[in-house]
Amino acid sequence: MTGGNDRAELGEFLASRRARITPDQVGLPVYDAGKRRVPGLRRGEVATLAGLSVDYYTQLERGKAAGVSESVLDAIARALQLDEAERSHLADLHRSVTTSPQRRARPKRATAVRPMLRRLLDGLTLPAMIGNARQDLVAANPLGYAFYAPLYPDPQHPDPAVPVNFARFCFLDTAASEFYPDWDFMADVAVNNLRTEAGRDPYDRDLSDLVGELSTRSEEFRVRWAKHNVRLHRTGTKRFHHPVVGEMEVGYETIPLPADPGLRLTVYSPEPASPSADALTLLATWAATTAQSTSTVSPTPPTNTRTTP
| Residue 263 contacts residue 170 (beta carbons within 8 Å) | no
pTM, 2 dp: 0.87
Residue 26 pLDDT > 80, yes or no?
yes
Mean pLDDT of 269-289: 96
Element of type H or E holding 217: helix 205-217
Percent of the chain with pLDDT over 90: 71
Q: Are strands 128-132 and 263-269 parallel, antiparallel or unpaired?
A: antiparallel
Q: Which positions ≥6 away from 180 have C-beta within 8 Å? A: 170, 186, 239, 240, 241
Range 115-296: architecture per CATH? 2-Layer Sandwich (3.30)
> What topology is assigned to 6-98 in CATH?
434 Repressor (Amino-terminal Domain) (1.10.260)
The C-alpha R_g of the chain, in whole angstroms, comes to 22
Helix (H) or strand (E) holding 47: helix 43-50
3 state DSSP class of 43: helix
Ordered by start, the domain boundaries in the chain are 6-98, 115-296
Query: For 229-239, how does the pLDDT look when each residue is reduced to its tens digit (9 = 90+)?
Result: 999 989 999 99
Please say if the pLDDT value at position 275 is more than 90: yes
304, pLDDT greater than 50: no
Residue 298 neighbours by CB under 8 Å, 6+ apart: none
Residue 224 has pLDDT above 50, yes or no: yes
With a cut of 50, say whether residue 302 has pLDDT above it.
no
